[in-house]
Amino acid sequence: MTTLNLVLDEMLNPVPTGLGRYASELSSALIEFAPTGCFVEGIVSSSTEDVYAEILERLPGLTALFKSALTHRDLTAAWQHGFTPVPSGMIHAPSLFAPLRNHDRVNTPGSQIAVTIHDVTAWTHPEFLTPRQVSWTKAMAMRAYKYADAVVVPTHAVAAELGDILAFGDRVRVLGAAVSPSLFPPSDSVEGAKRLDLPDRFLLTAGGGDAGSGLSAILAALALNDKIDLPLLIIGGDDNASEVAAASAAAGLAPGRVRALQLLSDADLSVVYQHAEVFVYPTLVAGFGLPMLEAFRFGVPVIHSDAASLVEVAGDAGETVVSSNADAYPRLLGESIAMLVEDRELRSRLGLMGADRAKLFTWRACAEGVWQLHADL
């Protein structure tokens, strides 16, 4: 019997994040597509019985759950400093939150640790993170450099960028992500749109309005280009609604032109994607760009920056905007938005290409890649 110990804390974040969705979907897929004779057990920080029950409910087929005596906060500090009381054997972490330690993989069969590094923002754009996030990421990356047997990254672009920072060499494995099966075109999208008070036509973006989301570039684009008269809705911006409103006003946009959507269920998120006219993803720091892939899944035409990871994931299914000149970027972004809004044929073509592109990414392939990675070790 072969057991994979999976670090589960990332999927328990009470505020939905891309990392949380990745961890949850990967965990489910690893259980569903486990090879014959292979099983998945979980590792989780000290929590309440309700949290443990939630994990088991969300991950049917999980064979056991190792419950640390340390809270998530304490476990974060402990693992950063090498105190790693966890089960021995194969360990896979969907982030750098992992019990990285000295171990003998050669002479102790099955003793191995794999971690995941989703992007290199802490090195290339530290201003988009808190100082604590930067220092923790760099510290854990150094522990991974010393102790990890494998490092999963979502794209070849991230692999190349990471290689310029830490020489992981052939320990790096590129394994992407996919759209959650719980996101799909709804049968009652018209009623759902009314309930959510969606405009008849609107632009859509994601990222919460934080510095790394590229929202400022979209706002400037809308202000500069008077050919664009559609409102902008933001997925994940509910926590920053007041900041979004202030930034919109500062850009000279009319009140109500930009709206941060409240926390959405997957069913409601599907409705929003289904009704979006164009999805704009101007971020420069994406490691994969899952929201862009979600838009593809619904046949929404996508405009994205020329960040290497986004270009890799999108292929030729999206409209790429050059971002190398920061001053010109909003103008170029606005021109692309205006062109796509006015050209129904182009929207239709890009929508079809995006829907086809999204089909290339599956959670089964991701899970099988992880199982193969550990088999290779």
**Is the pLDDT confidence value at 15 over 90?**
no
pLDDT higher than 70, residue 149: yes
Residue with tokens 């890649």: 369
Quickly list H helices, 207-299: 215-224, 241-250, 266-275, 290-297
* 288 contacts 307 by C-beta, under 8 angstroms: no
Q: Distance between CA atoms of 322 and 337, rounded to whole angstroms?
A: 13
Give the position of tokens 């998120």: 269
Q: Band the pLDDT of 247: cuts 50, 70, 90.
A: confident
Average pLDDT over every residue of 224-230: 93
Contact by Cβ (8 Å): 253, 222: yes
Burial 200-225 (b: 16+ CB within 10 A, else e): eebbbbbbbbbebbbbbbbbbbbbeb
Instruction: Select from 307, 299, 247 the least CA-distant residue to 281.
Output: 307
Q: What is the mean pLDDT of residues 228-235?
A: 94
Type of residue found at 120 = V
What band does 239 get if pLDDT is binned at 50, 70 and 90? low
Q: What is the pLDDT of residues 76-110, one digit of tens each?
A: 999 998 887 777 789 999 999 999 988 776 666 56
In this prediction, residues 44-53 reach a mean pLDDT of 94
Q: Is the confidence at residue 169, as pLDDT, over 70?
A: yes
Mean residue pLDDT across the chain: 92
Q: Enter the DSSP assignment of 346.
A: H
Give the N- to C-terminal CA distance of the chain in Å, as an integer.
16
Model pLDDT for residues 329-344, shown as the tens digit of each residue: 999 999 999 999 999 9
> Which has more confidence, 206 or 87?
206
364 neighbors 26 (Cβ within 8 angstroms) = no
What average pLDDT does range 345-364 have in this prediction? Answer: 97
Q: Which residue has the higher pLDDT, 375 or 108?
A: 375
Report residue 211's pLDDT band, with 50, 70 and 90 as the boundaries: confident
| Domains of the chain, first to last | 2-178+362-376 (3.40.50.2000), 189-358 (3.40.50.2000)
**Which residues of 275-336 form beta strands (DSSP E)?**
278-281, 302-305, 319-321
The model's pTM is: 0.94
Pairing of strands 172-174, 203-206: unpaired
**What is the spatial distance between Cα 169 and Cα 106, in angstroms, rounded to a whole number?**
18
Helix H or strand E encompassing 226: none
